[in-house]
Structure 1
């Protein structure tokens, strides 16, 4: 086994592509959003608080991205499993309370399906948050497929 590993992760440029697409979708929906982009290590790469986005949603957006990257799955998968008696009941208290079980965090995948990071959004309904996050994910995945050249947003 190797002594070190290399893990692909989003660049700042790719994070900016995701953020621009998410902001465009939020504007189209007329919902100001807090938008966070993290790398594969779950650490914040880029963040935007659109004018009018809820102040209390700043950390929620960051934590949605953290959760989606850390668990390599959209935060929406927990909807039915976090109720009392559910398979994931109590998981929201893990990771210092940062684990988000509300839709709006979506992982970003590379050409070969490897995790590169995630986008997390918050201020709208969970479905709106996920729609805005998915717009960013789709844009950055196109950017990656095109070899890092400017994605068409």
Structure 2
């Protein structure tokens, strides 16, 4: 993950947000879940600078999309009790995978916050598509 690619991914998320009619914050993190790029659209929710990086962090650390975590962290779920602190367990975070010959591993993540869950997921997917076509 490098800055140029991370910036292209945040731009793709913002363009998708404009199409969706959402105002978002978007974060891209590296394989250690360290922030590489962050952008916040004018008028985006005040919680975005916390939630977007949190979703990106969660997707890297748990190696799964945050949209998959809601049911797993609910009472009775496999990961009940995990939500909170640094883990954001609702849609908008997507891990980025790469194959290095010995199998795939997570090399970064995207987090989007500010729209509906569906809008956040769509914007994160738009950013991930830049990774897939790099």
- Per the normalisation by structure 2, the TM-score is 0.92
In structure 1, the residue matched to 2:97 is 109
CA deviations 1:56-115 (Å, max 9, x no partner) are: 22201110000001111101111212222221111013xxx0111111000112255331
- Do 1:110 and 1:141's aligned partners in 2 also have CA atoms closer than 8 Å? no
Superposed CA RMSD in Å reads: 1.2
| Cα separation, 1, equivalents of 2:69 and 2:21 | 27
Greater Rg by CA: 1
SS in structure 2 of the partner of residue 136 of structure 1: helix
Displacement of 1:17: 1.4
Unaligned runs of 5+ in 1: 1-9, 144-153
Structure 2: which 5+ runs fail to align? none
- Tell me the TM-score normalised to structure 1 length: 0.81
Q: CA deviation at 1:29?
A: 0.7
Instruction: Identify the residue that residue 14 of structure 1 maps to in structure 2.
Output: 5
Partners of 1:111 and 1:99 lie apart in 2 by 26
| Cα distance in 1, alignment partners of residues 105 and 47 from structure 2 | 32
Greater relative contact order structure (CA < 8 Å, 6+ sep): 2
Report the number of matched residues. 131
Higher strand share goes to which structure?
2
1:35 aligns with 2:26: yes
Counterpart CA distance in 1 for 2:44 and 2:122 is 16
